[in-house]
Structure formats: C-alpha cells, structure tokens
Amino acid sequence: MNDKLIIKIKLHIIFLFLLFICSFTGLFAQETQTAADSIWAYRQAVENKITLLKNEGNLLPLKELNNRVTCISNKDLINPENTFLKTLQNYQKISPLIIDSVFLGKKWNIGGIDIVYVNEKSNIEDFLANTAKIEKSFKIILCIFGGDDVLKKFGGLADYKAVILAHSNDPHTQDLVSQAIFGAIPFKGKLVEDIAPNFKKGDGITTESLKRLKYTVPEEVGIKSEFLKKADSIAIVAIQRRATPSMQILVAKDGKVFYHKSFGHQTYDSTQAANLDNIYDLASVSKISTAIPALMKLTDQQQFSVDKTFGDYFSKAKRTNKKDMVFRQVLTHQAGLRAWIPFWQNTLINSTLLVVEDPNSRLNQKILDPKVFQPKKSKKFPFQVADNLFIHKKYVEKNMVKQILESPVAEKKDYVYSDLSYYLYPEIIKKITKKEVVTYLDETFYKPLGATTLTYNPLQKFDRQRIIPTEYDSLFRKQLVHGYVHDEGAAMLGGVSTHAGLFGTANDLAKLLQMYLQNGYYGGKQYIRPETLAEFTRCQFCETNQRGIGFDRQRGTNAAKSVSEQSYGHSGFTGNLVWIDPANGLLYIFLSNRVYPTRNNSLLSDLNVRTNIQEVFYEALK
C-alpha cells in the first residue's frame, strides 16, 4: 500500500470521526433543547393550575412591601432544592421560621404577614395546633403543595386570610407560587372537582399581574436556552483571562428575567465563589439610580425643572460662575464644567520621614493632612472613608463644595463628561424635600420597590463577605477597598454622593430599571410619570452629543451595536454596564469588579466583554 493511499485513508477516517463528533454534539444539543422546551411547557401548565381559594381583603397579590414577612414551615423549606423561599426573597426580605421541637408549644408572635408552607411531608396536626396560637390580627397566607389530599386534612380555614393550592411540590411549582404571591404572575387556576366541605368544582379567584419582574426560562421569551451558552462562554473566557475576578449578569425581556447568573470568584485567589446575593459597587451607575430618579420625581411634583439654573436651587452658587448654569445642559455634560477634581490629592501635605534602611537620610514624602483625616471616629471626624480612616465633618462644605464652585468654566460648551454637579445634588434634594438623600431614596423608591440591597455604606447593613471587593488603593486609603465606595470623592463624602456610592445586586437594580422600562410603573404603583421619563431619556442636543438627561444614549460607545435608537443606560468605572431598550423590551445589567486588584486592568474593555455578551441576547432574539 503506497503512502498516498495511506494518507487518503487516514484523512477519510479523521473526516468520519469529525462527522460523528459533530453529529453527536448536534444530537446532544438537540436533546438538551428538547428538555428545555419540555420544562417551559410544564411551567406553563403549572402556572395555569395554581389556585387561589381564599383571599380576604384582596390580600394577594402582596402590593405593599413595607410589612414584615415571615415564611413558616418544616425543615424542607431550607432544603437546597426547595425554591419557594429563595424566590420569595427575590421580591423582598423574608425571614424563615422552622417549626421544630423548640418552636412547638410556644405562642406565635411573629407579626406582619406570615406565609405558611405546607406539603405532603408536613405534620398537619402541628400546624393546626399552632395556628390557634397566632394572633388573629396577623395576616396568614396558607400555601398548600401536593394537591387536594393535603388540603382535605385541614378542617376549618377561618384563621387564614388567603389559601393557595398547588397540585405538586417540585421546584418549578414552588418558584411559580412565590411569584404569584407577589403579583409577578396572576392567579388563574380553577378546581376541577369538589373538595368537601369548603370548595366546589370551578372555584378559584383570579387576579391581575402587578408587573413585577417574572423569573422564567428563555423559551418563554422566544429564545433557545442552548443559544445562550455563547454568553456563558464569553463570561468564562473573560474570567480565565483575568479581565475581572467576577461578574453578575441579569437580562430580562418584557419584564421576564430569563438569564440571571454569576461567574468567577470575589477575588483571584478563588477562595469565595461569586453568587447572585453578592453586592457590587455600582460606581457611576449610581447617577441614574440616585440623583436622576429623585429629580424625575421632583419634576413630576413641579418642585424641580431642568430648565432652571443652579442659582435657582443652590444658594451657594448665586455668587459664582455656576449661577446661570442650566440643569438641562449640566445633566447632558455640556455646561463647561471640569471633568473632575482630585479632591483627596488636595489634602496631601509634605512630611519629612525617617528612612529605616538609612538612619542618616531623610525622605520628603506626601501624607494625608491630619487636620482633615484621623484614624479614629470622633465628633469632629464622624464620617468614615475606609477602615481606620475618618474625615473632618466640615471639610466637605468648606473645601470640596468650595473647590467645585470656584472651579473654572470652559468658554466653549463642548461635551465633557463631568462628575462635579452630582456632588451637589444631595444638598439640592435635601433643600427641596426636607429629607436627607438616603432617606428620600429609600422611602420613595428602594423600599417600595423591594430593592433592599440598593444602599449606601453597605457594611452598615450587610456582612462584608457578601460585598464584592474592588481595588487595593495603595495611594490614598492604603488598603483593599472592601465595603466602602471605590470612588475617592464619594468616599470623602462619607460614602454618600450621587455620582457614586450606591451598592446593590443586579436583581434589586433591575427593579428600579424595569420601572423605567415600564414607563414609571412597577408593582402596582406609578412612581414617575411616563412623560417625565420620556423627556429625561430622549436625546437632548443630538447635534453635539447623544446623551439624555443623566442617561447615556451613545450607541456603540458602551452598548452593543444592535441596541435601538430609543435605548439608554449608563456604565460604571468598576466594570458595570446597564442598558434599557424600550424598542425590544430588553433590560441588560452587567456588574463586575474589574478594578480588583488594580484599576490599570483594561481587559474588560479591550476584549469588549460587556458589549459582546449583550450582543448575544440580540442575536438570540433574531
């Protein structure tokens, strides 16, 4: 047999092998997609069968999120495979309470709203015995999983304000019942037979959706699950190439979250995996999540106008070159403001330090002015900048605000992205509302939306291990920035500003941004008038720049090439990108800590990670 024939046979074998691999891979992908289609069909069937049998005072769906909510059950509630509690916690903070030998025999004193989870494994006698101990003023929701047989074990149901019947007890059913409780999906099930003595065939109370985020599978929005593995691959490769230690991604279409994943670890040492509960520094995404919603709301109430000036709302500006600056131009970054001011560098003073290696030499070195910063908290130094670093209470007003107001203004009003006005909005908002900006945002937006992780200074509310670290700051704070805002200027404001400082999860940020996408409506409440949102998000000075009022609209700069002309969003220095596309009903949130351990890492942008992942979802829709 000659060499040419041998080579030909070998090539033929290789071709057949590759053909087999391709066929097998295609068959595997086809089988995987068939399974995904089956899951979607099953979820549809479950959703249609969840039955609301009792609903005193229209308690369900839960509209107001300011009540304390407790979920009561046996240990099955905290089983890793049980999704009931996990999904409830997507909407607001829920406290679990497990019935055990310690609990039994005590009087229930929980308060607020109690959701009782009962399945076929539950000891019904225990539940019935303890129900009598609940204060009658409490609002108790009974959720029965497992069908008619479990329900029949309950005699009277007078103590329950609402009763829900689900005919199975698998993760999909648990997930969908939780969503129905909060109005993400409506109750529409009807009994197919009598359940003596309380309910008859055809019974079932229907409700309307409150337009809260629904959590679903890609197939519900017309996307194949298999296709989205492209997004997974881009994310995994970016992590491997150390573009960022971690990322958290959420994508929703028409209010339906179909992609919600975390990748990587909190840091490159891989000791703690990133998860969906992790809280990220939102950096400049804070602008459209703090100042801009506040100003939109105040516009609705005719307490603020973008066509007025700094002099109208900020008395300290009346005798400065900022007096006649119109907010419409300021918020589109073409009012002539400087891009930024290195505030922390302006606090450095000369210090002659002894060099340990050479006792006879001295080194002139800059240090932080002890009149501005101290390592311990006190009356004069109450605002924490980082671990063991506190700033003087008067420095902000006497120095930072003064530097902004005295800064030069460019004669030619070209587009220059500037943070400076956002340092001043907390004081403007306080003057108008008579409330601190943190309180105003919590009461007006975050708490009613159920966005419990959207917060300033997260260490005051959450464990440090839940918060994603950012940069090791070797110049200013001389430590790893972990739980404190990465931006130096915001840190000097005690962590509270509107150009940076807000933290949160992708899930909670999505509630605010979905409200924008739904023309100011979310969870049964109109937060902002549609006309106001339309004005703030439209292109303001299209000939000079593409920005809206506070929002970025520059196609191709940060967002994918396929976003619509109507779309808007913002990016953040720590590696974040959020984008809202009304034409496609698409919401995209990408959070990361690409600045760990140093801001000099530009791989996230160099590799177009955020943009390329976003583009996958547009391709999937096609």
CATH code, domain carrying 120? 3.40.50.1700
Using the 3D structure, point to which of 183, 210, 237 is the last residue of a domain: 210
93 and 196 share one domain:
yes
Pairing of strands 256-264, 214-215: parallel
Q: At residue 151, what are phi and psi to the nearest 5 degrees?
A: -65, -40
Average pLDDT over residues 475-502: 98
**What pLDDT does residue 442 have?**
98
Task: Grade residue 133 by pLDDT with cuts at 50, 70 and 90.
Answer: low
- How many CB atoms within 10 Å of residue 465? 10
85 and 118 share one domain:
yes
C-beta of residue 559 within 8 angstroms of C-beta of residue 567: yes
Shortest CA distance to 595 belongs to which of 244, 310, 298, 316? 244
**What pLDDT does residue 357 have?**
53
Q: Looking at residue 316, which CATH number applies to its domain?
A: 3.40.710.10
DSSP state of 108: P
315 and 422 share one domain:
yes
DSSP state of 541: S
Residue 152, domain member (yes or no) = yes
pLDDT surpassing 80 at residue 292: yes
Shortest CA distance to 112 belongs to which of 157, 76, 64? 64
Residue 225, domain member (yes or no) = no
Q: How far is CA 141 from CA 39, 46, 147, 203, 302, in A?
A: 28, 20, 16, 18, 41
450 and 463 share one domain:
yes
Pairing of strands 69-73, 95-98: parallel
324 and 284 share one domain:
yes
Residue 255, domain member (yes or no) = no
Tell me the C-alpha distance between 230 and 427, whole Å.
45
Q: Is 345 exposed, middle or buried (0-12, 13-18, 19+ CB in 10 A)?
A: exposed
Average pLDDT over residues 489-493: 98
Q: What is the pLDDT of residues 210-263, one digit of tens each?
A: 999 999 999 999 999 999 999 999 999 999 999 999 999 999 999 999 999 999
Q: Say if residue 597 is preceded by a cis peptide, omega within 30 of 0.
A: yes
**What pLDDT does residue 76 have?**
85
56 and 123 share one domain:
yes
Q: What is the pLDDT of residues 163-185, one digit of tens each?
A: 999 999 999 999 999 999 999 99
106 and 187 share one domain:
yes
Using the 3D structure, point to which of 152, 178, 210 is the last residue of a domain: 210
pLDDT surpassing 60 at residue 358: no
Lowest mean pLDDT among 156-160, 392-396, 562-566: 156-160
Q: What is the pLDDT of residues 402-441, one digit of tens each?
A: 999 999 999 998 999 999 999 999 999 999 999 999 999 9
Task: Grade residue 18 by pLDDT with cuts at 50, 70 and 90.
Answer: very low
Q: What is the pLDDT of residues 294-337, one digit of tens each?
A: 999 999 999 999 999 999 999 999 999 999 999 999 999 999 99
Residue 254, domain member (yes or no) = no
364 and 376 share one domain:
yes
pTM of the model: 0.92
Task: Grade residue 159 by pLDDT with cuts at 50, 70 and 90.
Answer: confident
Strand partners, 141: 115, 162
Average pLDDT over residues 188-208: 93
With both helix axes pointing from N to C terminus, report the angle between 425-433 and 291-300 in degrees, rounded to the nearest 10: 30
Lowest mean pLDDT among 158-167, 200-209, 435-444: 158-167
Task: Identify which has the larger pLDDT, 134 or 601.
Answer: 601
Q: Is the dihedral of CA 189, 190, 193, 194 positive or negative?
A: positive
**What pLDDT does residue 139 have?**
86
Residue 9, domain member (yes or no) = yes
The overall average pLDDT reported for the chain is 90
**What pLDDT does residue 191 have?**
95
Q: Is the dihedral of CA 159, 161, 164, 170 positive or negative?
A: negative
Please report, rounded to a whole number, the percentage of residues in the chain having pLDDT higher than 70: 88
Pairing of strands 586-592, 246-253: antiparallel
**What pLDDT does residue 240 have?**
97
C-beta of residue 167 within 8 angstroms of C-beta of residue 147: yes
558 and 432 share one domain:
yes
Task: Grade residue 44 by pLDDT with cuts at 50, 70 and 90.
Answer: very high
503 and 609 share one domain:
yes
**What pLDDT does residue 14 have?**
45
Which residue do the tokens 């109507």 mark?
Answer: 566
Task: Identify which has the larger pLDDT, 144 or 132.
Answer: 144
Task: Grade residue 355 by pLDDT with cuts at 50, 70 and 90.
Answer: very low
79 and 148 share one domain:
yes
Shortest CA distance to 151 belongs to which of 170, 114, 124, 177? 124
- Helix, strand and coil in the chain, % to nearest 5: 35, 20, 45
- Rg of the chain over Cα atoms, rounded to whole angstroms, equals 28
Which residue do the tokens 């006190």 mark?
Answer: 378
**What pLDDT does residue 354 have?**
44
> What tokens appear for 258 in the block?
């179909």
Q: At residue 441, what are phi and psi to the nearest 5 degrees?
A: -65, -40
Using the 3D structure, point to which of 210, 236, 271 is the last residue of a domain: 210
Spatial CB neighbours of 218, under 8 Å, sequence gap ≥ 6: 36, 224, 225, 227, 228, 258, 259, 620
Q: What is the pLDDT of residues 85-105, one digit of tens each?
A: 999 999 999 988 887 655 554
* Owning domain of residue 326: 260-345+403-584+602-621
Residue 607, domain member (yes or no) = yes
**What pLDDT does residue 129 have?**
64
Task: Identify which has the larger pLDDT, 494 or 106.
Answer: 494
457 and 542 share one domain:
yes
Tell me the C-alpha distance between 493 and 397, whole Å.
10
Task: Identify which has the larger pLDDT, 359 or 276.
Answer: 276
Domain count, the chain: 4
pLDDT surpassing 80 at residue 26: no
